[in-house]
Structure 1
Amino acid sequence: MTLLFHASDLHFGAEDSAALAWFKQVVADQQPEIVIITGDLTMRARSAEFAAAQAWLADLGRPVLIEPGNHDLPYFNPVRRIWRPYGRVMRLQEQLHEGVTLDHVHLVSLRTTARVQWRFNWSKGRVGKRALHQALQALGNPGHHAKLRIVLAHHPLIEAETQSSGRTTGGRAALEAIAAAGADAVLSGHVHDPFDLNVETQAGAIRLIGAGTLSERVRATRPSFNRLTVADGKLDAQVCAMD
């Protein structure tokens, strides 16, 4: 059995210290193979927020895989946002993810954030052609066909009937494409409430799993994360909410 923890939207700068301590203790007790964070490590992408996130993630003592969120792009520095929007997130990723290989799971990144968009609200999702192409290439790797293939995104690719929305431009088309390429599930965050959906596509059903938040910015659900187990090619997801 492979055990993965899926958390999202830590929002250092508006973090919930009690929720973070609770999650850290569960990690110590259960020792997942990897911790997946689907974006929004920080609140305003400040250096101090990234430093706090890095210290806390490193202290988990487990490999961490990070998918950037919209809050992780430079907020106050337009030059950095245009020319190096993912610099800090990528440096953090290199330090925390030590090339871990999971025997039964293949994890693929699908970036849904954008430095600029042709709409007013840049916090919403967008799947660009390049991001989708890279994800499809990774999914098509013949060495991973025997594994359960899970795509990691920050924004839900389609709406999940939660209080908040992703409104991901190109999300439905991306979902159809990755399903056709063999993806079994998509993990995401952004909306701060967990969900678990089976969605029909032209290539068959694909599972969409969203994580809640470990920040003070809760919606309908208490601070929570998803406990994922993979056994015999099947994925089981359990929402773990803090008392």
Structure 2
Amino acid sequence: MSVVLHLSDTHFGTEQAPVVEALEALARQLQPDLLVLSGDITQRARPEQFQAARAFVDRLRAPVLAIAGNHDIALYDLWARIRRPYARHAAAFGSDLEPVFRGNDLLVVGVNTTRAWRH
């Protein structure tokens, strides 16, 4: 049976070290076959927040299916919001906004419900 670790609304940029450490310990214990990040991975879609999120994911050493949330679209950088709203998310987690994971006994489909013009 596959083990999935599902995290939502991590809001990197406001994360608390004890919480991150507890999640890392849980992941070591569970050894998930898949990590699902379902939206609002960052607080304000800043590059350093995506870098922190990516570093966290890399430490967990599990395949990741990451779905952007409204907080993962630049809020205060109007140019980025209009021209390439998902560029920072794509740089950290890949350009597929509706990723699919297929395992031996598992199929997970991410659905993008964000809209770049709404927050």
What TM-score do you get using the length of structure 1 for normalisation? Answer: 0.45
Q: Distance in 2 between matches of 1:110 and 1:61?
A: 23
Q: Distance in 2 between matches of 1:13 and 1:37?
A: 15
**Structure 2 counterparts to residues 168-183 of structure 1, below 5 A:** none
Q: Distance in 2 between matches of 1:67 and 1:46?
A: 16
Q: 2:116 — aligned with what?
A: 115
Q: 1:58 — aligned with what?
A: 58
The residue type paired with residue 107 of structure 2 is H
Q: Runs of at least 4 residues of structure 1 off by over 2 A?
A: none
5+ long unaligned stretches in structure 2? 95-99
The residue type paired with residue 40 of structure 1 is D
The residue type paired with residue 29 of structure 1 is Q
The residue type paired with residue 103 of structure 1 is N
CA positional deviation for 1:91: 2.3
Q: Distance in 2 between matches of 1:13 and 1:104?
A: 35
The superposition leaves residues 148-177 of structure 1 with CA deviations (integer Å, 9 ceiling, x where unpaired) of xxxxxxxxxxxxxxxxxxxxxxxxxxxxxx
Q: Distance in 1 between matches of 2:101 and 2:66?
A: 13
Q: 1:93 — aligned with what?
A: 93
Q: 2:33 — aligned with what?
A: 33
Q: Distance in 2 between matches of 1:109 and 1:7?
A: 13
Q: 1:4 — aligned with what?
A: 4
Q: Distance in 2 between matches of 1:57 and 1:10?
A: 11
Contact 2:44/2:75 (CA < 8 Å) preserved in 1?
Answer: yes
Structure with the higher fraction of residues in strand conformation = 1
Contact 2:51/2:92 (CA < 8 Å) preserved in 1?
Answer: no
The SS at the match of 1:101 is strand
Contact 2:70/2:114 (CA < 8 Å) preserved in 1?
Answer: yes
Q: Distance in 1 between matches of 2:106 and 2:30?
A: 19
CA positional deviation for 1:21: 0.7
The residue type paired with residue 85 of structure 1 is P
CA positional deviation for 1:100: 5.7
Decide which structure has the larger Cα Rg and report it.
1
The SS at the match of 2:103 is coil
1:105 and 2:106 are equivalent in the alignment: yes
Q: 1:139 — aligned with what?
A: none
Structure with the higher fraction of residues in helix conformation = 2
Contact 2:54/2:93 (CA < 8 Å) preserved in 1?
Answer: no
The residue type paired with residue 79 of structure 1 is W
CA positional deviation for 1:83: 1.4
The SS at the match of 1:45 is coil
Q: Distance in 1 between matches of 2:110 and 2:55?
A: 23
Contact 2:38/2:66 (CA < 8 Å) preserved in 1?
Answer: yes
**Structure 2 counterparts to residues 1-243 of structure 1, below 5 A:** 1-94=1-94, 101-116=102-117, 122-123=118-119
The superposition leaves residues 177-197 of structure 1 with CA deviations (integer Å, 9 ceiling, x where unpaired) of xxxxxxxxxxxxxxxxxxxxx
The SS at the match of 2:53 is helix
Q: Distance in 2 between matches of 1:76 and 1:102?
A: 38
The SS at the match of 2:65 is strand
Aligned length, in residue pairs: 115
* Stretch of structure 1 that moved more, 84-93 or 25-34: 84-93
The residue type paired with residue 17 of structure 1 is A
